[in-house]
Structure 1
Amino acid sequence: MRYHVGSLEREKLLELYKGMLKPRMIEEKMLILLRQGKISKWFSGIGQEAISVGVTQALKESEYILPMHRNLGVFTSRNIPLNRLFSQWQGKQSGFTQGRDRSFHFGTQAYKIIGMISHLGPQLGVADGIALADMLRRKKRVTTVFTGEGATSEGDFHEALNVASVWNLPVLFCIENNGYGLSTPTNEQYKCEHLADRAKGYGMESRIIDGNNILEVYTKVDELCRAIRKRPRPVLLEFKTFRMRGHEEASGTKYVPEKLMKEWGKKDPISNYEDFLVAEGVLTQDYIENLKEEITEEINTNLQLAFDENEVDSIESKELKEVYHDFDYHYIEPKSDSKESIRFVDAISQGLEQSMYRHNELIIMGQDVADYGGVFKITEGFVPKFGKSRVRNTPICESSIVSTAMGLSINGMKAVVEMQFADFVSSGFNPIVNYLAKVHYRWNEKADVVIRMPCGGGVGAGPFHSQTNEAWFTKTPGLKVVYPAFPDDAKGLLNTAINDPNPVLFFEHKGLYRSVKGDVPTDYYTVPFGKAKLLKEGKAMTVVTYGAGVHWALEVLEKHPEIDVDVLDLRTLQPLDTESIYNSVKKTGKLIILQEDTLFGGIASDIAAMVMENCFEYLDAPVKRVGSLETPVPFAKSLETNYLPKNRFEAELIELYQY
């Protein structure tokens, strides 16, 4: 292995050596503890230390880095206290996830490190968002994100590189090509000779770097970082290296040819660099021994701190409270009594526009949202007011854009993402339910993201543009789900959603956009989450519904003035106003729940179950649920009319009334 010192001082040469030696010695200790059953799992980076250390030392401390589970050298190079790392791996309280996650599945704002999730790909888009925030603030920074050669097969890889290239984001995409994705060799994962060659398809620069040569890694990355800070752009780096141990320790390495192991064993980044420094007179054996003793003492001292720490106590109230970031809701009244009668769609647009003025670092992203104004024209006219830097057209890549929104939040901005249709959220499902939803519970980070969801049937849009898929998200702890039925609620709830630092799925029924009007305050105001609205008051039964179902229920009830009911518009599904539901049921003794979603597994099922558990002795009849047919949403008018529950609701309402 050839080393080119160039202009590097002796101090830097030694710093790079120390930087690699510490994670190697920690790993060797962890492998012993794993065999002793004192940690549960380990993903070894032995043989790859030069990449983590060289890249991290080329960055400034203020620059974010997004590592993987073999990048221990990133954490040690940022000087994270070892006792906290050890506690993290043992699931102790002072670990970064307080026992809620393991390994390197965490982040820490204090050290500008944003850890991975097991799905790998989304963190590439998160890096885009972090870099976008820096670029919008004109900060000369580089964001660096790691992935393995296996994850380059994921769609998130393509999406993130494409977004970074289109937007000229200052991101270093670092591929650690270590030969195997678990047991699958590279020749079964991709056909191109070098993964770096893929950069050409994105109009992006790339480099191939010897990942076992610490001086090559450091000097080339340092040179690139200096250049990117001057002229922001993404660069794809492929580090050629090898994984000397199993994907994780339990998997072993029997699938690797012995000859290959020996070849790469001779390329060990630490022993080769150590020999070079000794030959150059930079290192002595005494220095090496003293350094190893010093690191050993540091490891043992901090291990003892972790061992001495008590096991994590599970306190139910604490666990439930920390699913969401604290949100100190403030009711903001309109400054004047001025109101205007506007459509549902205009109320959404007005709330979004006023929020853009209120939050000068709020970014809107989505397909065709800029000059075109979105397919429903909600952001029409926004570009002249706020500019294309804040109202951003995106490529068709829902997953990466959701991840980018998460990155904006990590770097202190707010984001509103428009799904062109709620149906399309399936392409961005993973980062919503596995990143945004879990990030606060895992390591106390907010996900300040609103995802707007134009949804619902009744407009002849067919199976791919008509779903109302709120139940996908009410099931997921960590998400908030909002579903207004009236223009004034839509505006106030959207303002609250944008103020809330938690991820919010904001459902907007397409059928209501231009069919429903109402008096809406012209000024900015908010409406609280978790508070249902009592639209009608009666004693015969309780009707619980939301979205378009509210209007269907009211229309049916107009035909039956003899049926005296409470009508509750839920407005938000998570949080859910169970108190209002229970109080109404205790008064009326009967409950019918109307939802547009298909019946099985919907929110109506949960409400019915909760009422049965908490109000059983007050019930005078079985709880009724009414929803759409258990089919995809059909296109033809006759089929869609029969699919939707409006007509069935009338029959069920009468039957329950007469029970």
Structure 2
Amino acid sequence: MSQQTQTNPIDFQTEGLQPEFLISLYKNLLKPRMIEEKMLILLRQGKISKWFSGIGQEAIAVGVTMALQKEEYILPMHRNLGVFTSREIPLHRLFAQWQGKASGFTKGRDRSFHFGTQEFKIVGMISHLGPQLGVADGIALASKLKDKKHVTAVFTGEGGTSEGDFHEALNVASVWQLPVLFCVENNGYGLSTPTNEQYRCDHIADRGLGYGMESHIIDGNNILEVYNTISRIAESIRDNPHPVLVEFKTFRRRGHEEASGTKYVPEDLMKAWEQKDPVDNFERFLVEKAILNDEKISEIKAAITHEINENLATAFDENDIDSSETDQLNDVFKTFEYQEINSKEELREIRFIDAISESLKQSMERHEDLVLMGQDIAEYGGAFKITEQFVEWFGKDRVRNTPICESAIVEAGMGLSIAGIKSIIEMQFGDFVSSGFNPIVNYLAKSYYRWQQEADVVIRMPCGAGVGAGPFHSQTNEAWFTKTPGLKVVYPAFPYDAKGLLNTAINDPNPVLFFEHKALYRSIRQEVPQDYYTLPFGKASIISSGTDVSIITYGAGVHWALEVLDQHPEISADLIDLRTLQPLDKESIFNSVKKTSKAIILNEDSLFGSVSSDISAMIMEHCFEYLDAPVKRVGSLETPIPFAKALEDRYLAKNRFESALLEILNY
């Protein structure tokens, strides 16, 4: 065991560590520093566009990575270059990634460290920081369900701990006792904002107590303290799954990114941390202990320099990326080979809500590791009793009550997908999805396009008005998601469609928002096969055929249109139930409009920015010469949804549809 020397401000404890291993630690610590120094030169030369420096913090990334097993996932930040190099990612691929070349990890679609790689069990960050914490929960949940005895390590900075996702993720990990190592690099500043303007507790580690979680404070500049402590913690997590919060005290010696500079840092503070440089001090220590000498250090540095230059040359020599429009569009979704499964059993009449429940039950039987997550879905059976008895049938591991934290649960679904497990998340009401909006539109929707990682998640969305539930339990917010490439949106109107389409949604490896209109749950009945079957996405249902007008709608709008047509048997109409909004059956729409020459689009949502607006625009672009009247849109009032029945009736598009239909017919 060494003793702290006067010349070294860091106390390195080497007990139990062999010289060969200490040298490997040194090499892994030195490599990211030397790469960074090279990148800063290239930045000044204009050969790379941006750089987020981790100089001064290398010991954390390297120590944590070397303490973990190679099959254990790490979710790093953009300053954790040492994670990538310690996992031995070929440098030319890293350099190509930073230059937007094809041999990188995102086909030029994202920059720096915003990527993941299953090969090296690394899941890179997104700029919103917080979501990766919940994703780590999902990966750790998969490890626990499969009894892998793995640790999942996730990084964030002290600034990121102010985000709600941090608190949600810690709470979920604690409640579910997940094997997650939460690594907080406290470098004193969130960009330029000091910690005294970020939080009021003495240490971020203090927050662990509030979540019933073990926590530690580690000198983040001491590579041996990081490695030894994390090794012990990781082993305890593997033996007994539980989350641990670790705060690493360190300092970022460069700006947030190079253009930011460091003028906001007091000079004496910068000098104090320069004296605690993790690379220089460890090198000095190894020399003092005669483990290294100048000749050996020069040899190591020469080898790393050669490796950097050789791999840089490979990356620079690679041609700039070229990609067709077709290639780009084809990579928005993972290819899904739809398998049509037809019913072989008798029909019997059931309600819409029963069709949803049957689909879930039969899918849980078909996919043995499928996980359901949502508020009150276990013993209580969910707000609408759709999952009643599911705990008895499938157990609490697979039917999981969640805390009230939509964001973290969506992220956990993403983590499960990364680990190879499908999940279904129930939003208790579709309105509440706004609390989980960020990970849906920025993580689930973009992951496959960015680094070919599918988000095998279905989000069930009980939605819609007509039940007197007011502004926060009545929205139909499908247009929030049809706007976002990378999401599929399904919105059935009948029990038969609901069951078959939900089965397909669960089979599809892409993220699906599945809208279920609450007013239809117990009011609509239909004959439905008892056994398992599927229906294709992107294929509308032509409910009636006619020549006078094309009525295009979905969800409750289908039933509103049927009521009006029943009252007007003289109207000969194509009634098109879209069933899925993304993908959209444009062919059926266009063929119908070309036949009838008139089109009216009905949706429950308010008009501006609605699905009907896009469909109207498409009809104008593709069918203009066939039209005998302007395309008519019918939607609800441009107000939030009121509670009182008289106000709700006046709000809904239902009561304006009949007059609008007659108006276009008489045009």
Q: Aligned equivalents of 1:137 and 1:182: distance in 2?
A: 39
- Residue of 375, 380, 384 corresponding to 2:383: 375
Q: Aligned equivalents of 2:232 and 2:377: distance in 1?
A: 37
Percent identical among aligned pairs is: 72
Q: Aligned equivalents of 1:567 and 1:312: distance in 2?
A: 46
- Residue of 509, 517, 529 corresponding to 2:537: 529
Q: Aligned equivalents of 1:175 and 1:647: distance in 2?
A: 55
- Matching residue of 1:105: 114
Q: Aligned equivalents of 2:354 and 2:341: distance in 1?
A: 20
- Residue of 54, 69, 73 corresponding to 2:78: 69
- Residue of 20, 28, 34 corresponding to 2:37: 28
Q: Aligned equivalents of 2:235 and 2:514: distance in 1?
A: 41
- Matching residue of 1:596: 604
Q: Aligned equivalents of 2:406 and 2:181: distance in 1?
A: 22
Q: What amino acid sits opposite 1:152 in the alignment? A: T
Q: Aligned equivalents of 2:44 and 2:410: distance in 1?
A: 40
Q: Aligned equivalents of 1:47 and 1:20: distance in 2?
A: 11
Q: Aligned equivalents of 2:335 and 2:297: distance in 1?
A: 49
Could you say what secondary structure the match of 2:129 adopts? Answer: coil
- Residue of 484, 488, 493 corresponding to 1:476: 484
Could you say what secondary structure the match of 1:207 adopts? Answer: strand
Q: Does 1:554 align with 2:562?
A: yes
- Matching residue of 2:91: 82
- Matching residue of 1:118: 127
- Matching residue of 2:181: 172
Deviation at 1:314, TM superposition (A): 3.1
Deviation at 1:12, TM superposition (A): 1.1
- Matching residue of 1:278: 287
Could you say what secondary structure the match of 1:573 adopts? Answer: strand
Equivalence map 1:118-267=2 (5 Å) = 118-267=127-276
Q: What amino acid sits opposite 2:430 in the alignment? A: A
- Residue of 19, 24, 32 corresponding to 1:15: 24
Equivalence map 1:85-96=2 (5 Å) = 85-96=94-105
Could you say what secondary structure the match of 1:23 adopts? Answer: helix
Deviation at 1:11, TM superposition (A): 1.3
Q: Does 1:447 align with 2:447?
A: no
Equivalence map 1:217-366=2 (5 Å) = 217-336=226-345, 338-366=346-374
Q: Aligned equivalents of 2:259 and 2:39: distance in 1?
A: 14
Q: Aligned equivalents of 2:344 and 2:185: distance in 1?
A: 56
- Matching residue of 2:413: 405
Partner deviation per Cα, 1:280-325 (whole Å, 9 max, x = no partner): 0100111100111100110011001110111111310000000001
Q: Aligned equivalents of 1:96 and 1:138: distance in 2?
A: 30
Q: Aligned equivalents of 2:285 and 2:311: distance in 1?
A: 31
Q: Aligned equivalents of 1:100 and 1:37: distance in 2?
A: 20
Partner deviation per Cα, 1:591-639 (whole Å, 9 max, x = no partner): 0000000000000000000010001000010000000000000000000
Partner deviation per Cα, 1:73-130 (whole Å, 9 max, x = no partner): 0000000010000000001111101110001000000000000000000000000000
> Any unmatched runs of 5+ in structure 1?
none
- Residue of 488, 491, 500 corresponding to 1:492: 500
Could you say what secondary structure the match of 1:110 adopts? Answer: coil
- Matching residue of 1:460: 468
Could you say what secondary structure the match of 2:15 adopts? Answer: coil
TM-score by length of 1: 1.00
- Matching residue of 1:643: 651
Q: Aligned equivalents of 2:428 and 2:611: distance in 1?
A: 24
Partner deviation per Cα, 1:339-389 (whole Å, 9 max, x = no partner): 110000000000000000000110000000000000000000100000000
Q: What amino acid sits opposite 1:392 in the alignment? A: R
Q: Aligned equivalents of 2:341 and 2:311: distance in 1?
A: 49
CA root-mean-square deviation: 0.4
TM-score by length of 2: 0.98
Deviation at 1:542, TM superposition (A): 0.1
Q: Give structure 1 regions of 4+ aligned residues with deviation exceeding 3 angstroms.
A: none
Deviation at 1:334, TM superposition (A): 1.2
Q: What amino acid sits opposite 2:655 in the alignment? A: N
Q: What amino acid sits opposite 1:376 in the alignment? A: F
Q: What amino acid sits opposite 1:68 in the alignment? A: M
Deviation at 1:396, TM superposition (A): 0.1
Q: Aligned equivalents of 2:166 and 2:85: distance in 1?
A: 27
Q: Aligned equivalents of 1:324 and 1:374: distance in 2?
A: 30
- Matching residue of 1:624: 632
Aligned length: 658
- Residue of 432, 436, 440 corresponding to 2:440: 432
- Residue of 613, 622, 643 corresponding to 1:614: 622
Q: Aligned equivalents of 2:15 and 2:179: distance in 1?
A: 26
Q: What amino acid sits opposite 1:535 in the alignment? A: I
- Matching residue of 1:50: 59
Deviation at 1:645, TM superposition (A): 0.6
Q: Aligned equivalents of 1:340 and 1:385: distance in 2?
A: 23
Could you say what secondary structure the match of 1:519 adopts? Answer: strand
Q: Aligned equivalents of 1:9 and 1:385: distance in 2?
A: 53
Could you say what secondary structure the match of 2:516 adopts? Answer: strand
Q: Aligned equivalents of 2:103 and 2:632: distance in 1?
A: 48
Deviation at 1:251, TM superposition (A): 0.3
- Residue of 410, 417, 424 corresponding to 1:416: 424
Partner deviation per Cα, 1:545-593 (whole Å, 9 max, x = no partner): 0000000000011111111000000000000000000000000000000
Q: Aligned equivalents of 2:313 and 2:338: distance in 1?
A: 43
Q: What amino acid sits opposite 1:303 in the alignment? A: L
Could you say what secondary structure the match of 1:312 adopts? Answer: coil
Could you say what secondary structure the match of 1:111 adopts? Answer: coil
Q: Aligned equivalents of 1:553 and 1:56: distance in 2?
A: 60
Q: Aligned equivalents of 2:21 and 2:226: distance in 1?
A: 13
Q: Aligned equivalents of 1:642 and 1:38: distance in 2?
A: 61
Deviation at 1:335, TM superposition (A): 2.5
Q: Aligned equivalents of 1:77 and 1:650: distance in 2?
A: 67
- Matching residue of 2:4: none
- Matching residue of 2:5: none
Deviation at 1:173, TM superposition (A): 0.1
Q: Aligned equivalents of 1:227 and 1:467: distance in 2?
A: 46
Q: What amino acid sits opposite 2:647 in the alignment? A: L
Q: What amino acid sits opposite 1:623 in the alignment? A: V
> Any unmatched runs of 5+ in structure 2?
1-9
Could you say what secondary structure the match of 2:550 adopts? Answer: strand
Q: Aligned equivalents of 2:263 and 2:328: distance in 1?
A: 41
Q: Aligned equivalents of 2:575 and 2:188: distance in 1?
A: 62
Q: Aligned equivalents of 2:25 and 2:440: distance in 1?
A: 38
Partner deviation per Cα, 1:146-177 (whole Å, 9 max, x = no partner): 00000000000000000000000000000000
Deviation at 1:647, TM superposition (A): 1.5
Q: Aligned equivalents of 1:273 and 1:244: distance in 2?
A: 17
